[in-house]
Structures are given as structure tokens and as C-alpha cells.
Chain A
């Protein structure tokens, strides 16, 4: 398993399948009377969120807690970041506190990768700028596989604001890796120039693609990321690319409709489509917990995954303890910070 989860580009089909298979087993934990297993007892996961997020942060928090890890939430407001601390200093602080995994969301593309150069803890990218959101792509692949029993060979249409969407980038990569056929649909201003290299087809007419679509994936207008408007008006967008009951009827009968949330009902999706039987939007949310549990489980096992804090160097106390050595560590090498223990 890869040490960090930074980008869907790092995962081949075997790695993705392993994550999805593990998630399938872990999904059962939510159905038990006690929705918790002890496997990550003693591990600490920090949610480091530099951008607003409700569902992803809560989903990661529930995932870690269902595996019995301790969770620390670190958000912009009310923290040292608001006082001007840099990402690096914050990371080193978390490292010194012995955090085993950092779940990071940042407005700057590449921030999670940079983080891996500074700290030993596992890093999970929970969305960086316009770049990647790998756990979203994985939970979408999981949901597609669950509903359609496979991913390979399916025709997936991703419609909306492709340019500003890290979800579209990650998901397209994942779908192509798993052998699906992807078509990107949206106004020309919202299809990024490099999209022709993603391995996906590009089309601007949603109505043409609908009959050849097994999975319709709708994206929200990321108006907070657009400098200037990329289309004349919301009404025009909705008329050309918004999915209503008529467009839903144009899909093949067993097609599913997906959305990463938060939805703008009445813009890219009408309320009746969002609540239709073919919409699997709440399944995506449920599956997100299982997929994040799977990533944490697969990344935090083994000796090397233990976060090393500077205050508890492995050379002295912990390594000696692992070997069940009878003699206590040398006083000089013992830096457990407890003077009483070191002298025994």
C-alpha cells in the first residue's frame, strides 16, 4: 500500500480494487449494534482543514472513530493558523505531538504533497485546490461498483464545472484506470484546456450524450473559485446543462445519477431528480465513511506507520519496549519526559 494518499494518479487498478474491497468489508461495521472496531486503538488522526468543509471532515472523523482512532480537529478559525502560523510550522507542531495521520484540505494545489516532505505521519489528501480529492473519487467508484457491480466498460458522463473541480480530475483518473469510458460535458469556458489529455472525450451538448450514459455525474458551479463569470447566467446554464425530469427520462433505464454535494437544487439538478430512485447521492455519503475507513486501515498498519514525535524518539524507549527487553533503557537515552521512570 502507498504510504500517503495524495492523488488518484498514484493508484493503479489493483490498489483501487484493494481499497474498494476493504471498504466493502468495513461497510458492515456501520450495521452492527456497536458501530466500532478496535483496530486503530492508540492511533491519532488529525483533521487539518484550511478550507471550509462539513461533509468531508465529518466523514473522515466518523471513519477514524469507527476504527477507534483518536481524532483531533484543527480548523482555520480559533487556531494558531488564524494567528499567522505557516503550514510547515503547524505540521511540525502536529508531528511533535505524535500524530499518526494528517487529513489535510488546503486551497493550494500540492499542499498535501509538500506536507509529506516535512512530517513522518501518513498524509491523506482531503482536497487540494483544483488538483485532487482522491477519497471522493474512491467513494464514487465504490458507489458505481456497488450499484452497477462493475466499473470497467461503463459510460460515465461528468457534467458541469470541470475546470474548477478537483473531483472531476480525480474521478476521471480513477475511472480511466478502472477501464470506464468518460465524457466531460459543460460550457466551453468550464472545460480546462488540458482536459483533452485526461483520456476522456469532451462534448458540450448534454442532450446528445444522455442516451449513451450509464452514470451521470453532476458537478456544482464553483462560483467561489471563478474570478469572473464563466457563463452568461445561471438560468442559461440550467437550461443547457441542468438535469430535470425530461433529461432524466432521456437516460437509459438503469442509469444512475451522482453528485458530490453540496447540491444547488434548481441549478445543476432539480429537486425531483435529486430525490429520484436513480439518484444515489445519499449512498455516496454513506459509502464515503466506509472508503475513508478503508484508506485509514490500509495506511496506518505496520511498524513504519507509527507517527514518530520528536519528544518520543524511537531509538530509546519505544524500540526497547517493542523487543520486550528486560533491562530498562539507559537513563541518558530515555527521553520519555518522566524523570521518575528514567531512573528505575
Chain B
């Protein structure tokens, strides 16, 4: 089955611009913000969102990257995964940390991300920005900023593609292959394929 394009490049850009305004409205400026992109596709999204914030406010907004592999709850189930880099751009004590990811699904990645942030310091708050919220939460987690709410079924896969990694900006929705191919973040942590 052919994947259906849910967001085109211009839609992704508009969503990120709107989210930047929402972030500034809610936090009354960008002074205390630290953006942390969750590997893999959250990292370029955080950088873009930070650039948007900086352009609007005229102050630099720090953006870092977070690899949550060492905080996952499915290590016993699935075994070791390749590790990515974690870099905090500055001290996060007293700052508002905004976690940025491409797709919000079960919420398990975000739970791990919050633990990783709290091990680094004591932020004044943690907020969550995602490009796509596809539902099917397994934990009491909700996003603060959403690019697109996308109702999906469990048999579908949301595919976020970004220029920095995939060469193009778009969000695709397609049926999962019957061969047991992993989705983005399959409920109950059965498998998570990159992309």
C-alpha cells in the first residue's frame, strides 16, 4: 500500500513556527528555555524550534540532544541497542526543559526522557513538544505543544522524514507490513524500528 502524506514540507515548517509562538506565549519569553531533542529525529526538530524561538525573540536559545536508551524499560525484553550521544548545552537547574520528539505514541520514550533530564539536574519544569501525536498512550503523559494531532490505528505506522536525516521534510502514514515489521514505537515495547 502506498503511504499517505499527512504533512508536506511547508506544513512541517508552519507547524514548527506556530509551536515556537505557543512556547513563547506560555513561558513569557525564551530566557529560561533549554530545548532537548530526543534521538534520532527529535534532535534536528529541537534545533529548528530553537532557531525559530531565537528568530522571534532575538535571544539565543540553547538546544541539546538526549539519548534515552539507557533509561528504556524494554532492555530485558529486546536487548542492547546502539547508544547515541547526550549533550546538555548548559546547566539545567532552574531552567524550563522542553523535550522535543517527532512522534508521541505510547509515552514510554518520554518517561525515559524525563528520567534522563532529572538525573542531570533540577529543572524548574519539563514540557513536551512533538511534531505528531498519534495517540495510544500507555502512560499518563500528554504533550504541551503538538504540530499535528493524527488519529491512527495500531496497524498503521507514522513515518516522519526530515531534511537533516532523510533528505526531505514530510510526515507519512502507512499500513504496517504484515511481516511483523516494527512500527515507530509499538505499544508494549515489542519493537521500535528507526524511523
Residue numbers of A with Cβ under 8 A of B are: 1, 21-22, 25-26, 28-29, 32-34, 36-40, 42, 67, 297-298, 301-303, 305-306
Contact = CB atoms under 8 A, between A and B. Distances in A.
A302 B115 contact: no
Interface residues of B, number: 20
B55 to A, nearest CB: 31
Contacts of A29: 70
Contact of B119 (A37, A42, A306): A37
Contact of B76 (A1, A25, A298, A302): A302
A301 B82 contact: no
**Interface hub of B71, B83, B85, B115 (most chain A Cβ within 10 A):** B83
Contacts of A26: 83
A25 B85 contact: yes
B78 A34 contact: no
Contacts of B79: 301-303, 305
A80 B81 CA distance: 38
A301 B76 contact: yes
A67 B75 CA distance: 12
A37 B70 contact: yes
B80 interface: yes
Contact of A301 (B78, B119, B120): B78
Which DSSP category, helix, strand, loop or mixed, fits chain A's interface?
loop
A317 to B, nearest CB: 16
Contacts of B86: 25, 28
Contacts of B102: none
B67 interface: yes
Given A33-B121, A38-B115, A298 B71 contact: no
B80 A1 contact: yes
A301 B70 CA distance: 11
A200 B83 CA distance: 34
Contact of A302 (B71, B80, B84): B80
Interface in B45-102: 67, 69-72, 75-80, 82-86
A301 B83 contact: no
Given A25-B67, A33-B120, A34-B119, A39 B75 contact: yes
B70 A32 contact: no
5 closest cross-chain pairs (CB), A and B: A302-B79, A25-B83, A301-B79, A37-B70, A301-B80
B106 to A, nearest CB: 15
A22 B76 contact: no
A59 to B, nearest CB: 19
Given A298-B80, A303-B77, A306-B76, A38 B70 contact: yes
Nearest to B122: A33
